[in-house]
Structure formats: C-alpha cells, structure tokens
Amino acid sequence: MTGLVRLAVLLVFALGLAAPAAAKSPEAKSPAAGKDELVIGITQFPSTLNPLIDAMLAKSYVLGMARRPITTYGPDWQLICMLCTGLPTIENGRAVPFELDKPNDAGGTKGIRLTYTLHPDAAWGDGTPVTTKDVIFTWKVGRTPQTGVANQESFRRILDIEAKDDKSFTLTIDRLSFNYNSINGLDLLPAHLEAAPMAEPAEYRHRTLYDTDPTNPGLYNGPYRVTQVAPGSHITLEPNAHWWGEKPAFKRIIVRVIENTAALEANLLAGDIDYIAGELGLPLDQALAFEKRHGERFKIAYKPGLIYEHIDLMLDNPVLADIRVRKALIHAIDRQAIDRQLFGGKQPVAHSNVNPLDWVYDKDVPAYAYDPKQAAALLDAAGWTRGPGGIRQNAKGEKLTLDFMTTAGNRTRELVQQALQAQWRQVGIDARIRNEPARVFFGETVTKRKFTGLAMYAWISAPESVPRTTLHSSQIPSAENGWSGQNNPGFRNDEMDTLIDRLEVELDREKRRPMWARLQAIYAEELPVIPLYFRADAYVMPRWLDGITPTGHQYPTTLWVEQWRAAP
C-alpha cells in the first residue's frame, strides 16, 4: 500500500512542476513568418544516421523524410512498395519457390527467388541513379560481421543477388517464409559514396559518411535531404532536388531535440516548435493534461499501437539469472495501479511482448498479479533475507542491489521508474536509478549490453513481427558479431529458438496461431524481461497542419512527409 501512496504523491508532484523556460533555436520561426517551414520537437537525438547501424526510432523518424525503403507497412498495416514498382508474389510469378540443396538453419528445405524493380526515376540527392549496384553493395555491407549492422540475420539469409539490369534484381532467399516479400530491412546505401568507408569493414561504423559527412546530398533518396546536423540539438532538412515523387510542401523542416518533456511542452507553447511528434513526444499522461489546458489551440490525435514498454533484465548477472528473483520483481510491482494513476487506464498492462491489437495475441497468456507476499516468499526461497535497513542480502552479506536505467529527461518514464523503485524497496530490493541521454543509452549501453541490471525502454514493431532479433539465442550482441542482434538480455531457450525458426516458414496462418500462443507462454514463464504496458502515442499538431497519418507500428509518419501541408 505504501508503494501505491507514493505513486500518487509522485504523480501530483510531477504534474505540478513548473516547466523549464523554452530554449530558443536560432533557426526556429513562428508560423506567422510563413508556413513554408515546419519545426518538429522530439525527445531523442539519433546515435547515427546510418540506416543499418543501431535500431533507434529517432533515426528512423528523421530518415523517413530523407530516404525511402524498398518495402514497408502502410498506415493500414498492409505491405506496400515505396522504392519498388510492385510486390513480387507467387501468384504474379515474380516470387518463385525452389528446393534448397541442403536444409537451412531452421531445418527448412524450401527457398524463394524474388524479383523486384526499382522505381525508374529513383535517384540519390546528388543526381546519381539508385541502381542494383546499391542493392548488391548494401547486401555485402549487411552480411559482413565486422560492420556493426544491427540486423545481420536478414542479410545472411540472402544467398545471392542477380542484377538483371540497372533497375531490376532477383534475391535468392534461403527460406520460404509467410512474409516472404517483405524486405523492409534492406535499407539501401549509396555504393558510390559508402564504398570508401567500407574498405576496412571493422572501421565502417566509425567512418560511414552518414556520421562523418551527414549533409552530403548523395546519402539521401527521399523528398528531403539533411542539410545541417547540430549534435544533441537539431537536424535540418530541405527538399531533395532529385526527388522523383510528389513535391513536398515545406521548404525547410527542422527536427529539434528536447529530451525533457516538460521543456518540450514549454517550447511548443512559446512557439519555438510547431508540432510534437507522437513517435517521440509527450507521454500519454502529459498529453491528456495538456489537452485539457490547451486543446483549443492544437489538434491532438491519440494512436494506440505496437509499442511495448518493458524492462530488459541482464541475464548474465547471476542475481537475475535466478527465475525466482525475476518472478519476485514482477510480483512486487502494481502495473494496474501505474496504468490507472498515470494513464487513466488507457495503456493496458502487458503480459507478453505481443499486443492485443495484433491478431496473433493469445488472451490466455500467463499473467502475474501484484502480490508482494509471493514476491517476498520467492526472494526468501532464492536465499535473499532481510538485512539492516530492510534491504535483502544473501549468505555472503551481499545486498540485493540492481542498477535501474532508462532515458534521462522523459518525465513519465522517470516517474514510473521511481514508483517501481519504491515498490521494490517494500520487498527488500534496492533499485539504484542511473539514467543516461537517449543517444548514449541506446547507442552504447543497451546496444553493447553494458547495463548490469534493469534497462527500461520500448520496442515498436510491425504486424505479426517474429521476434527473432530480440529472442533467438543467435541474436545476442557481442564484440565478436559486431554487436549485431537485439537480444540484449542474453536470453537462451532451445524451445523458443525452435518456435521462431518454425514460425517464419509456416505459411498457413491458422497453423501459426498455436505456435504464437506457445511463444507467448514461454516468454511469460521465463521472463527475460518485465512486461509493463502497451503505449498509445499522442500527436500534438498545430491546427494549420494537415496530412499526418499515425501508423501505430514501427514505420513512422515521416515516410509520407510529402503529403504534409499547411492548411489555408
């Protein structure tokens, strides 16, 4: 009960804080000066602009305006072409299954050949055509272990690429999966520019022009190109003269990074930013309070989505390797109360990594109730007894202390963090808060598995997204694999590995359903992470801005930035 009281007190205190004064950017202009410029506020600065290195939403958001993927999921959650002219399917003959010479690593015996054609007018921002040379070069970068590419697995599955001409190519894939024609991760690199940094693969992530020369127009093939990067402050984009699609409306877009969400709100009210992006903006509780005070001045749209707030547990830590401690951690926290107190019951408690919005969700997944007595019993059984000051210790006198990290400046995350810390203390667990700026937290600490205890953040995924990179044992990042993969806790489970392998190649939707149910059950039983809740994003827009369509999945609204307009 004490933890619940403290949660309510923390909430009142946080929502009553005076907002820091708005910091002015020398480049920001009021809409009154002309609506040909848009200033967007987000809370994180990308750790890199290279599309293949580090999985960070801030990077995806910015690059959504400056690049186009070959395929992606649209706002209606259907797979579409963006850089290609049409999706290959078995029905149209551009997707051809074949028998493998030997089974793949999942035991499958079928592969598939997929033929795509790039848009005939697609070009990089320096006028160089986007061609199959870029496709082949990107594949080679992605499958080279030393490069630091986040999702090398998708590149390793491509056995060969045949360039039929400058615009058409055929991929030979080592398995026939249910989403076989989705190549969303094949984010093209400009071969004519990135070949030189790639000369020494081990140094590529440090020499890529996306970091050493990020305003080079040839790096971008979307409606806009990056023209200024002020690290930690803002990124400026201007129209790409060689963009082949619909002409974008704004002559300049400035993405300003304000990590503190109270300061972000203050900057919006002061007119120093026009729009707070839902993908990386105000948390739900803050947005609801903002709408009550200022709803007449702004359009506010709420979009529930495949956004999973959770806490990674470092399973290399002997304390957290004990399943009894992991179960005690989740029994000790009242996630329903956090949702009720902070979010008005609008962000449902998560019991696994699969969102109820996704058709593969299993309503019978095991759930952990708030039960401090059960948490205490589990800790007793694991050999952690109450010591001086109420903090538990083991037989050696070592205290049950865990570092607890998240992104600094996110007011709601920090509030949730303090509430969890208080509830864990009630059962004798000492959680030490140690937060970092997002670019450090994601760029180094999480990616390179430098956290030792708990790391709280969100995954955002696509519909029916098989969690290979986050749960398969082959996807644990290490120096040896160039920090590839996203299984940051270090979870190893043979049955999970087998399920993931089988899921990907099962074409029958109904046969996948029980496999998904079992996957969620293992996740809940083994608890490699602590599920918290599924988020809804709040988009805070000026009333004059039209054309923004929230997607509810990992592909951001900026992929359709050319549709954004200043209303008359």
In this structure, the number of other CB atoms found within 10 A of the CB of residue 79 comes to: 16
Q: Locate 192 and state its tokens.
A: 């004519």
Q: What is the pTM of this model?
A: 0.82
Half-sphere exposure at residue 190, Cβ-oriented, CA atoms within 13 angstroms: 24
Lowest mean pLDDT among 57-71, 75-89, 233-247, 477-491: 477-491
Residue by residue, DSSP assigns 250-298 as -SEEEEEE--SHHHHHHHHHHTS-SEE-STTS--HHHHHHHHHHHTTTE
Q: What does each C-alpha distance from 425 to 88, 333, 394 come to in angstroms?
A: 55, 10, 16
The torsion angles phi and psi of 552, rounded to 5 degrees, stand at: 80, 10
C-alpha span between 72 and 455 (Å, rounded):
29
Band (pLDDT 50/70/90 cuts) for residue 6 is very low
CB contact at 8 A, 235 and 254: yes
C-alpha span between 502 and 494 (Å, rounded):
12
Q: Locate 102 and state its tokens.
A: 């030997």
End-to-end CA distance of the chain: 54
Band (pLDDT 50/70/90 cuts) for residue 481 is confident
Q: Is 80 exceeded by the pLDDT of residue 521? A: yes
pLDDT number for residue 26: 38
CB contact at 8 A, 234 and 256: yes
Q: What is the mean pLDDT of the chain?
A: 91
Q: Is 70 exceeded by the pLDDT of residue 472? A: yes
Band (pLDDT 50/70/90 cuts) for residue 16 is very low
Long-range Cβ contact pairs of 5-8 (< 8 A, separation 24 or more): 6/418, 6/419, 6/422, 7/334, 7/337, 7/338, 7/341, 7/419, 7/422, 7/423, 8/341
The torsion angles phi and psi of 541, rounded to 5 degrees, stand at: -115, 150
Q: How does pLDDT run across 253-269, given as a tens digit for each residue?
A: 999 999 999 999 999 99
CB contact at 8 A, 246 and 121: no
Task: Identify the DSSP state of 55.
Answer: -
CB contact at 8 A, 306 and 550: no
As beta bridge partners, residue 403 has 432
In this structure, the number of other CB atoms found within 10 A of the CB of residue 293 comes to: 10
Q: Locate 562 and state its tokens.
A: 């050319």
Strands 401-405 and 430-433: parallel
In this structure, the number of other CB atoms found within 10 A of the CB of residue 469 comes to: 23
Q: Is 50 exceeded by the pLDDT of residue 21? A: no
pLDDT number for residue 18: 32
495: exposed, middle or buried (C-beta count within 10 Å: 0-12, 13-18, 19+)?
A: exposed
Task: Identify the DSSP state of 20.
Answer: P
Task: Identify the DSSP state of 372.
Answer: H
Q: How does pLDDT run across 162-207, given as a tens digit for each residue?
A: 999 999 999 999 999 999 999 999 999 999 999 999 999 999 999 9
pLDDT number for residue 164: 97
Band (pLDDT 50/70/90 cuts) for residue 409 is confident
Q: Which amino acid is at 79?
A: L
Lowest mean pLDDT among 106-110, 231-235, 517-521: 106-110
In this structure, the number of other CB atoms found within 10 A of the CB of residue 160 comes to: 12
C-alpha span between 29 and 40 (Å, rounded):
11
Q: Locate 474 and state its tokens.
A: 């082959």
For the segment 280-308, the average pLDDT, to the nearest whole number, is 93
C-alpha span between 409 and 437 (Å, rounded):
8
Band (pLDDT 50/70/90 cuts) for residue 484 is confident
Q: Give the three-state DSSP class for 541.
A: strand
CB contact at 8 A, 218 and 190: yes
pLDDT number for residue 34: 55
Q: Locate 181 and state its tokens.
A: 């024609």
Q: How does pLDDT run across 337-382, given as a tens digit for each residue?
A: 999 988 888 889 999 999 999 999 999 999 999 999 999 999 999 9
Q: Locate 469 and state its tokens.
A: 């990179």
pLDDT number for residue 15: 31
Task: Identify the DSSP state of 436.
Answer: B
Q: Locate 79 and state its tokens.
A: 């797979």
Q: Which amino acid is at 265?
A: E
CB contact at 8 A, 124 and 218: yes
**H-helix or E-strand spanning residue 338:** helix 335-343
Q: Give the three-state DSSP class for 422.
A: helix
Give CA angle at 353 (344, 360), nearest 5°. 100
For the segment 223-242, the average pLDDT, to the nearest whole number, is 97
Give CA angle at 66 (61, 69), nearest 5°. 80
Sign for the CA dihedral angle at 282, 288, 294, 296 comes to positive
Q: Is 50 exceeded by the pLDDT of residue 20? A: no
Q: Which amino acid is at 530?
A: I
